Amino acid sequence: MGFNIENHTCITHTEQVCFFRLVNGSVLAVIALLGILFSSFTIYFLALRRIKLANCKNLLIINVAVSDVAISTLGFFRGLGIINSKYVGVVNNSTTPGCVVYALSMNSYANSGMLALLPLTIDRAVAIILPLKYKCIITRRACLGMFAGTWSSILIFLLYDILAYTSTFQTVEYSERYHRCVVVGEYSYIEELCLISIPFLLILLMYSFMLCVVVSKRRQCGRFLITASGIILTSLVAYSPTVIADTWDISLRYEVSQILTVTVFYTGGVVNPLIYVLSHPVTQRYVNNLRRKKTGAAAFQSSVYPTEFEASRVRNNSVVQAPRADIVRLPDIKS
């Protein structure tokens, strides 16, 4: 078991481990890059193309999309860092300013996914549990407040990390286990608790209660509820391995840990925009128009070029119904 301390690349590792790191890092980088592109398109579509139609629902989706862009950006460098640690700022086995920036950003922005998902869950919970008071509670001002509160909390934690690092209250080290720079300190777990674990449990409880209300009272599920449910469930599935492993300190095999707590963690940035775009009325109308055009073209083709069965049926009918010359038609006799 050998490792190049100079740049943390495989030298005498087993060929299987080196190949896994190369594949895992490459797949993670591609997933993160797609997450950046898809989430950026969602923000562009909602914030720029539909600015005059901006409403609370759009703000909540933008909130999640902005978080997905931040997470996917760091995930892209983390994927490259699995292949070679210099991409996350580690050179000669020592931390650099790049490593510090990556670690502090990772600690705050990458952990913001659950906190950004909380307003969307609150909005749907109020719509399901208190439908008659929804418009009074979830106003535009309330949505802007939740949006500002989400990112203010994230920036406060980022400022806390910077102050704790500059005062040597916390240190930044490169972790061989996670293949990235991590913040090490006596109270560093508090940030993960506030940004991931507590929001995760709140979202899980609210969504479970929502489902119970929908099933027991047979509430109709609108389009936005279905869209929000898809985004919430995707995020819960993506974050579950990380939350479980960090909360109960579960030790996993290297390959299993990398797949569950790293690769799966960054899939939300790709899946969430796809759920929103595919369930949007504009997309559905476009698909329906294509389907109608295809159906119309097929009908036109069948009318112009009849099938062999239809042609034979027409020929048979024409033979049966053809008038015979030897039959004389008698005039009708009125009674």
Whether 159 is in a domain gets the answer: yes
Q: How far is C-alpha 214 from the geometric centre of its chain's CA atoms?
A: 24
Selection from 198, 209, 203, 205 nearest residue 64 by Cα: 203
pLDDT at residue 8, as a whole number: 44
Whether 235 is in a domain gets the answer: yes
pLDDT at residue 91, as a whole number: 65
CB 257 within 8 A of CB 178: no
pLDDT at residue 20, as a whole number: 83
Number of Cβ atoms within 10 Å of the Cβ of 234: 18
Rounded Cα distance between 74 and 293, Å, is 43
pLDDT at residue 31, as a whole number: 94
pTM listed for this prediction: 0.74
Rounded Cα distance between 204 and 232, Å, is 9
Tell me the residue range of the domain where 57 lies. 15-279
* Type of residue numbered 252: L
Whether 286 is in a domain gets the answer: no
CATH of the domain at 266: 1.20.1070.10
Residue with token string 């983390």: 78
Whether 293 is in a domain gets the answer: no
Segments in the chain below pLDDT 50: 1-9, 11-12, 52-53, 319-322, 324, 327, 330, 334-335
pLDDT at residue 5, as a whole number: 32
**Helices and strands, counts by H and E, the chain:** 13, 4
**3-state DSSP helix/strand/coil % of the chain, to nearest 5:** 75, 5, 20
pLDDT at residue 308, as a whole number: 54
pLDDT at residue 278, as a whole number: 80
Whether 309 is in a domain gets the answer: no
Whether 194 is in a domain gets the answer: yes
CA distances for 179 relative to 102, 188, 265, angstroms: 12, 18, 15
pLDDT at residue 335, as a whole number: 42
pLDDT at residue 32, as a whole number: 93
Whether 44 is in a domain gets the answer: yes
CB 178 within 8 A of CB 74: no
* Domain count across the chain: 1
Whether 240 is in a domain gets the answer: yes
